[in-house]
Amino acid sequence: MSLIITAPNKEIKTFRSLPASKSLSNRALIIRALCEERFKIRNLSTSDDTEVLKPALNNLSTEIIDIGAAGTAMRFLTAFLSQIPGERILTGGERMKQRPIHELVNILRELGAKIEYIENEGYPPLKITGSNLKAKPISIKGNISSQYISALIMIAPYLEGEFNLTIEDKILSKDYIRMTIKLMHGFGVECEWIGNNIKVNKGIYKPKEIIIEADWSSASYWFEIVSLSENSMIELTGLKKDSLQGDSVLTDIFKEIGVDSAFTNFGLRIKNIPTICTFFEYDFTDCPDLAQTLAVTLVAKNIPFKLTGLDNLSIKETDRIKALVVEFEKLGIHIQSEANYTISWLGNEKIQVPENHIVETYEDHRMALAFAPLCIITKQLKIKNPEVVSKSYPDYWDHLKDAGFNIQ
Q: Which are the catalytic amino acids?
A: 289
d(CA 198, CA 107): 15
Residues 6+ away with beta carbon under 8 Å from 74: 67, 90, 92, 96, 99, 101, 124
14 exposed, middle or buried (CB, 10 Å; 0-12, 13-18, 19+)? Answer: middle
Strands 342-345 and 336-338, bridge-based pairing: antiparallel
Distances (CA, A) of 204 to 36, 130, 154: 8, 19, 11
Beta bridge partners of 214: 20
d(CA 103, CA 175): 20
Q: What is the CA radius of gyration of the chain?
A: 21
- Which bin fits 125, alpha (ψ -120 to 50), beta or left (φ > 0)? beta
User: Residue 400 phi/psi, 5° resolution?
Assistant: -65, -40
d(CA 179, CA 110): 26
3-state secondary structure of 364: coil
Q: Could you say which DSSP state residue 67 is in?
A: -
DSSP per-residue codes, 3-19: EEEE--SS--EEEEEPP
Q: Could you say which DSSP state residue 173 is in?
A: -
Distance between the two ends of the chain, CA-based, in angstroms?
11
Helix ranges restricted to H, 69-215:
71-81, 102-110, 146-155, 174-186
Residues 6+ away with beta carbon under 8 Å from 355: none
d(CA 69, CA 363): 9
CB 131 within 8 A of CB 114: yes
Closest by CA position to 68, among listed 84, 82, 51: 51
